[in-house]
Structure 1
């Protein structure tokens, strides 16, 4: 059985990964495919613009943990089915279960965001259509966002009387600064893919329908890179906001010493001396 046909829950039935549905209800799942070192995670509930249910949140965490632990996966793409990224959390499940129930919902949502942000491999969000609420936060938790020019990003919390969740403000402020982040959150307005690229929270805005293809190009370049080095570079960026200059330099010294013992470092230096393209194994 091929690796792409396995899930954290056993063999993968066709188009079914992390499936959650009751009798007579449409399919709701977090789908995964693996090819040439790249895993593509698809939020799959297109009839509801991929609005995420509680059960889907739990499946999402399991899927990302599986990909984190799979050494054959060297880059990850996060996208949505049916022409949309995701319309955020399922509004029909909001506000139910009392204080305790809503705290559980928040924690499962937080684990979703952490599962993306803490993955030590390059993660690329490929965004078409709407990207709202926690889905917007998930995209910002990725290393890169590639979006369609007409994609529509929104933090709609104010429109239903809620504060932000999913670390939305923290993530957005890192990309656009606190004043612009507040304007986007306070207004609850849509931000187009073109504006997202101008503001800097999207790497590129591409023609509609091509975001996934462009994300695949980026992911393929990372899948043949020295994976361990990229994971440590990611750690350096993640640690930098809380470090002083001296702490950053000390951390760098420890990491760099470790990297000189990797097979990829040996291959990279050999290839440089032999004037050929290196063949990295991620080891």
Structure 2
């Protein structure tokens, strides 16, 4: 079904693997579209409770494939046509999404990782704001997301200086959730994803929605949105199960509904 990514569902986890290892999983228009399609399919599939994005080979994603990039390219139109739909679909995905950063995440590849909900990095992974080195600005939502994670000053530093940072440094500045050894990388990613999939994922989606909206509305508007979202959460099967499990002093079994 896909040519530039691998897509599989195992035990309520959807794995989206960028699969151009010979090109360090660099983006093409086809890959942008296939990722967007896989995300939309995962969001619509009740059997999927959590999504993991990673890369084949030694890179997570090195950004745009620069073959064919020239003066005739309309970079703005490329963003509108290829990257914008992919990033909007990721933002609209209310199920938890993990970026499993197995190697370098550079350029738009870093932007993709930043837009995920959690980032688990191999100790050998690295991150690079590569745009400045080719005279461009960080794109694919990069500078919208990055300062919300690490603050304005640090985001400016990474974007302007374009220096590669290690996984440990990324953890120290709040860019990644955790750093794990290479030898146990996939095992720990799977364990983290399985933990999320067993949680009340409907509530997670509402949390994501609330956080996204909180940046753009007044406090009074947020309180109203909060009330609306809590009403939705209060009517879920998972809320009923959580209360029942608390009363019965047992571990709850959530179903994501």
Is the TM-score greater than 0.5? yes
Match in the other structure for 1:60: 35
Cα distance in 2 for residues equivalent to 1:116 and 1:234: 12
Residues 110 and 212 (structure 1), Cα distance of their counterparts in 2 relative to 1, 3 Å cut: farther
Cα distance in 2 for residues equivalent to 1:38 and 1:200: 25
Q: In structure 1, which of residues 97, 102, 105 is the aligned counterpart of residue 78 of structure 2?
A: 105
The within-5 A match list for 1:65-104 is: 65-95=40-70, 97-99=72-74, 102-104=75-77
Match in the other structure for 1:236: 210
Match in the other structure for 1:45: 20
Q: 1:139-196, CA deviations, whole angstroms, 9 ceiling, x for partnerless residues? A: 0000011102231101111111212211211211111111111111111110110000
Match in the other structure for 1:132: 106
Q: Is structure 2 residue 222 aligned with structure 1 residue 261?
A: no
Residues 166 and 71 (structure 1), Cα distance of their counterparts in 2 relative to 1, 3 Å cut: same
How far the C-alpha of 1:279 sits from its partner, in A, is 1.5
How far the C-alpha of 1:273 sits from its partner, in A, is 1.3
Unmatched runs of 5 consecutive residues or more in structure 2: none
Task: Determine if contact 1:44/1:50 at 8 Å carries over to the other structure.
Answer: yes
Q: 1:227-282, CA deviations, whole angstroms, 9 ceiling, x for partnerless residues? A: 21111111111111123322222111111122222111111111111111111111
Match in the other structure for 1:222: 196
Q: In structure 1, which of residues 18, 22, 26 is the aligned counterpart of residue 2 of structure 2?
A: 18
Cα distance in 2 for residues equivalent to 1:235 and 1:227: 12
159-168 vs 242-251, which deviates more?
A: 242-251
Q: In structure 1, which of residues 87, 95, 116 is the aligned counterpart of residue 90 of structure 2?
A: 116
Q: In structure 2, which of residues 162, 168, 189 is the aligned counterpart of residue 194 of structure 1?
A: 168
Residues 165 and 209 (structure 1), Cα distance of their counterparts in 2 relative to 1, 3 Å cut: farther
Task: Determine if contact 1:18/1:60 at 8 Å carries over to the other structure.
Answer: no
Cα distance in 1 for residues equivalent to 2:71 and 2:88: 24
Residues 210 and 86 (structure 1), Cα distance of their counterparts in 2 relative to 1, 3 Å cut: farther
Match in the other structure for 1:164: 138
Match in the other structure for 1:183: 157
Unmatched runs of 5 consecutive residues or more in structure 1: 1-16, 20-28
Cα distance in 2 for residues equivalent to 1:116 and 1:209: 29
Residue 214 of structure 1: SS of its match in structure 2?
Answer: helix
Runs of 4+ in 1 over 6 A off after TM superposition: none
How far the C-alpha of 1:56 sits from its partner, in A, is 1.1
Give the RMSD, CA atoms, in angstroms.
1.5
